[in-house]
Structure 1
Amino acid sequence: MGKKRFLIIFGFFLTAVVSAGITYGAVKYNEISNISNDPFGKLRSTYQTIKTDYYKDAKTEDLVDGAIRGMLGALEDPYSTYMDTKEAKGFQENISSSFEGIGAEVQESDGAIMIVSPIKGSPAEAAGLKPKDKILKVDNTSVEGMSVNEAIMLIRGEKGSKVKLLVERSGVGELNFTITRDTIPIETVHFEKMDDGIGKIQITKFSESTDKELAKAVSELTKQNVKGFVIDLRQNPGGLLEQAVYMSDLFIAKGKNILQVENKDGSKEVYKAENEDKIDLPVVVVVDEGTASAAEIMAAALHQSAGIPIIGDKTFGKGTIQTTKAFKDGSSVKYTIAKWLTPDGHWIHEKGIKPQYAVSLPEYAKLPYLDPEKTLKEEDSSAEVKVAQQMLQALGYNNVKANGIFDPATKQEVEKFQKENGIAVNGQIGGETTIKMIESLQKKLIENDTQLEEAVNVLKKQLAS
């Protein structure tokens, strides 16, 4: 009898014995008890079957947690999830106090764990993680199929400890990161008086005290007689909706819309500005692909209801609102309750906000991270070598060709870089050399922040008019 024929006959035989309720091999087929019209009948019956017939003891707590995760997963909404006690505590810390980790906002997207935005000044930002990087593994553990909170608990850890991430970046491929965890501070607003009397205010996320921090920044800069404000919302993953409302209220005339909330039944609630004394100095807003959620609410509100121009790249595009429900054991569910719309009623979900002044950072700002623990040397050929060559080119070492081959010309330029930066000359890229290259690029980016430069130019034109 041929193999193909045997498989066909075996398939028929198995179907026959299943239909008859007969035991075959190691599989026993039994009909689960009859279920009434009660929609939870199958759930209760399955639970009872597992508790009585499963070959090992199953913890009731684990079964209940699994059922809740399954219900939320069936919604196919990356922003609705179950959080056990540990996960819920971590979530609360992220919006109310400091925590220890790498400092990156993540979400589930099409079954993958994706970076929304690294937090300003965090290890994640310093390492070079970018918005929309997809995390594949954490310390060699695949995160496929995990909830976003399960992945977060793997990524977080004690200050000073290291975590390895394997990520996939669109147009680049897979990248390895080794990141040293640190304390992520609660301070969410940073400000300074720039040249020409312009006040720069950077908001990194929207937590419980951000409105007070913003008010303080505006007050301090006003005392320094600034002529206008640049509100920097780049790499801001969002946070609390009420904070976006309070903060937008500072810049919008009383009675004008801040946002609209569309409920399940189609009804809409309109949030309007209530501040009697709005800021009357010129303002511009800077955004990028890491500007999300509450940060998008503020950007849209300031533009549509106060005529404030937006500069930068198209934003992330998160137009839903979540709330949490806590259980007595400390666990909780986070779930979507409504859409938020811009003041004029548009839904920017998965579309983002297009700036009036489209400006991107220099190409070298998008270069992947180089792992300092990995050594690149002459005769190596890899994607990492190409990245290192592109870094050297961006730093002015133009005799290098970005072809991914560590040739003698590359070695010569590496030696030149090492000599000029007081590093032991060996012609290899790794350790101190890699760290110095990254630091030099970051410094150059600060000095050549094309988005901030355009924001200042737009603000100056307003001041001159």
Structure 2
Amino acid sequence: MKDKSIKIVAIVVITVSFLAIGFSSGVIIGSLVGRAPVEVSAAGSGVLSQIDFSELSNIGNADAEADAETTEPEEMDMGPFWEAYEILKEFYVDQPLDNDALVEGAIEGMVKSLGDPHTRYSDAESYQAELAYMEGEEYEGIGAWVDLSGDYVRVTSPMHGSPAEAAGLRPRDLVIAIDGEDQTGEDLNLSLSKIKGPEGTKVVLTIKRGEEEPFDVEIIRARMTTPMVIWEMRDGDIAYIELTQFGESTVEELEKAIDELLPQEPKGIVLDLRNNGGGYVDACVSVAEEFLPKGSLVLIEKNGDGTLVDYKTRFTGQAQDIPMVVLGNDGTASASEILIGALQYYHRAIFVGTQTYGKGTMQIQPELSNGGAVSVTIARWLTSGGDSIHDAGITPDIVVERTEEDYKNEIDAQYNKAVELLRQGVKPEDLEPIPAPAGGETDGLPDEGSEL
């Protein structure tokens, strides 16, 4: 296996509908093989610093295994596994067996047995699609993040500029039928395979949205590249910046956006993180550096043994003093929640929108010798204030819903509220404090001003 670098990312447990691909990511440390190396982004003595990646790179390497003395863990009895394999090999009706499929099935079963939707296996095609998306390369499909942890495929968020967005898909939409076929009780991986398809082909999804009657949505799959940062001056004095994900080029594009917008002397910044499913943690910390002073605590890694590792800003960026409002919704997850949590904690921005997704675990994603990859939960992350938002999300400073009428009339009430706050000069410290997440946990960490 080639040398690799492991990079932390924070993405919600999702699956992307691409051409013959689907992947679901958590707060991931993406394993990049045969690509430009990147630095290990865990801070201090975090979990990553305890992993010997030189040894990890030999896993599945036949030459390395031949040269190394290997022993099976004493507590693991692999006998039943091989017995089952021999039984299938000798007696299964349709021969010969597809050994590659058996191996992948065994891996999937092994990770699923942990009961953690964020610990999962990606086959080679899915894994390459995942890397392509995070690195801003082209992909095919409907362009939607989806969650496979429930009874139906559930939309987490449509990607910006995608066919799914154009068709009007929204976070938490359930796909209950595909091309007229009821998906009740269906294996969700099979459901996903029916949604996938090449550019120019059509799929009809039957959507259940809240208490509404189910309705059909026709989507033409396309080839697309999702920009990571979108920016413009709006309404004469508002710098609008949308981050679609925290990927390879997000920081570079954000710096370009700020360079173009600040000289125009905007009254404030609207930072739009709605439907941003996350991305690389080091990109998230670098984005935070644009808005928070050097040494600000962005997140805390909480390991299985209870040890805590701080992630702090290392530089002071350009947009330190300009008033700011950040937008989020139930499609805002992981790295996006990390950033919102830090901006709230330091009273740097007012958070407008709806409750965020609630994803607070971290994964590594080493590549296997077959080209696939295993994402493994290695830690949890806490906000700057020491709170877990997992399964709870972050509560906005000001809750603003987008109603059905808003969508129909193309009214963005959340953005409009942000503009109103900036023009009125409302500051974060003027608002009532937000309580800790109702469904999360606190860890008895020191209050603001204390040294961690």
What TM-score, normalized to structure 2? 0.72
Q: For 1:80-91, list aligned pairs within 5 A.
A: 80-91=119-130
2:124–2:371 Cα contact (<8 Å) kept: yes
Residue 326 (structure 1) aligns with: 367
Provide the rounded CA distance (Å) in 1 between the counterparts of 2:373 and 2:186. Answer: 20
Name 1:379's counterpart in structure 2. none
Change in CA separation of 1:37 and 1:459 when aligned onto 2, cut-off 3 Å: closer
Residue 459 of structure 1 is aligned with which of 422, 428, 438?
422
Equivalent of residue 250 in structure 1, options 271, 290, 301: 290
Alignment of 1:14-163 (within 5 A): 38-57=76-95, 58-96=97-135, 97-140=137-180, 142=183, 144=185, 146=187, 152-163=192-203
Q: Which residue in 2 is equivalent to 1:190?
A: 230
**Alignment partner of 2:214: what SS?**
strand
Superposition map of 1:204-243 within 5 A: 204-243=244-283
Equivalent pair of 1:189/1:203 in contact (CA under 8 Å): yes
Residue aligning to 2:436: none
Alpha-carbon separation, structure 1, partners of 2:225 and 2:234: 24
More strand per residue: 2
- Which residue among 295, 299, 308 is the counterpart of 2:340? 299
Q: Letter of the aligned partner of 2:143 in structure 1? A: G
Equivalent residue of 1:242, what SS? helix
Which ranges of structure 1 fall in alignment gaps of 5 or more residues? 1-35, 367-440
Does the CA-based 8 Å contact 1:143-1:151 persist in structure 2? Answer: no
Q: Tell me the CA shift for residue 189 of structure 1.
A: 1.1
Relative to structure 1, is the Cα distance of residues 194 and 457 closer, same or farther in structure 2, using a 3 angstrom cutoff? same
Distance 1:459 1:186, change over 3 A: same
Q: Secondary structure at the match of 1:329?
A: coil
Which has the larger displacement, 154-163 or 351-360? 154-163
Query: Could you tell me how far apart the structure 2 residues matched to 1:322 and 1:262 are?
Result: 12
> CA offsets, 1:255-275, max 9 Å, x none?
121011112222111101111
Residue 346 of structure 1 aligns with an amino acid whose one-letter code is: D
CA distance in 2 between counterparts of 1:456 and 1:81 reads 41
Alpha-carbon distance between aligned partners in 2 of 1:80 and 1:118, rounded to the nearest angstrom: 23
- For residues 269-303 of structure 1, give each alpha carbon's deviation from its aligned partner in whole angstroms, at most 9, with x where no partner exists: 11011113452211110111111121111111111
Q: CA deviation at 1:246?
A: 1.2
Aligned partners of 1:463, 1:37: CA distance in 2, in Å?
Answer: 60
How far apart, CA to CA, are the structure 1 residues paired with 2:374 and 2:213? 34
Instruction: Provide, for residues 202-242 of structure 1, a one-character-per-residue CA deviation record: whole Å limited to 9, x for no partner.
Output: 11222211111111111100122223211011121222222
The CA distance in 2 between the partners of 1:172 and 1:335, in whole Å, is 37
TM-score using structure 1 length? 0.70
Q: Does 1:276 align with 2:316?
A: yes
CA shift in 2, pair 1:37/1:304, >3 Å: closer
Aligned to 2:252, what secondary structure does the other structure show?
helix
Native 8 Å contact 2:258 2:318 kept in 1: no
Whole-angstrom CA distance in 2 between matches of 1:337 and 1:145: 30
> What is the letter of the counterpart of residue 450 of structure 1?
A
Measured at CA, do residues 209 and 151 of structure 1 come closer, stay the same or move farther in structure 2, by a change above 3 Å? farther
State which of 321, 325, 330 in structure 2 corresponds to 1:289: 330
- Cα distance in 1, alignment partners of residues 187 and 133 from structure 2: 20
Once the 2 structures are TM-superposed, how far is the Cα of residue 175 of structure 1 from its aligned partner? 2.8
Q: CA RMSD in A?
A: 2.3
Q: Distance in 1 between matches of 2:184 and 2:334?
A: 24
Structure 1 window deviating more from structure 2 (115-124 vs 85-94): it is 85-94
Name the larger-Rg structure.
Answer: 1
**Structure 1 residues 140 and 325, CA gap change in structure 2 (3 angstroms):** farther
Aligned to 1:172: 212
* SS at structure 2 position matched to 1:249: helix
Kindly indicate whether residue 376 of structure 2 is the aligned counterpart of residue 338 of structure 1. Answer: no
| Larger proportion of helix | 1
Equivalent-residue separation in structure 2 for 1:62 and 1:323 (angstroms):
24
What is the CA-CA distance between 1:311 and the residue it aligns to? 0.4
Give per-residue Cα distances to partners, 1:56-95, cap 9 Å, x unaligned: 3222212111111111111222222212222222222221
Contact 1:168/1:175 (CA < 8 Å) preserved in 2? yes
Which structure has more relative contact order (CA 8 Å, sep 6+)? It is 2
Residue 196 (structure 1) shift:
4.6
CA distance 1:242–1:300, shift in 2 (3 Å): same
Deviations 1:12-46 (A, max 9, x none): xxxxxxxxxxxxxxxxxxxxxxxx97532221221
C-alpha distance in structure 1 between counterparts of 2:420 and 2:264, whole Å:
20
Q: CA deviation at 1:355?
A: 0.4
Structure 1 runs, 4 residues or longer, greater than 6 Å off:
none
Whole-Å separation in 2 of the counterparts to 1:38 and 1:322? 24
Contact 2:244 2:276 in 1 (8 A): yes
Deviation at 1:52, TM superposition (A): 2.4
Residue 390 of structure 1 aligns with which residue?
Answer: none
How far apart are the structure 2 equivalents of 1:85 and 1:291? 27
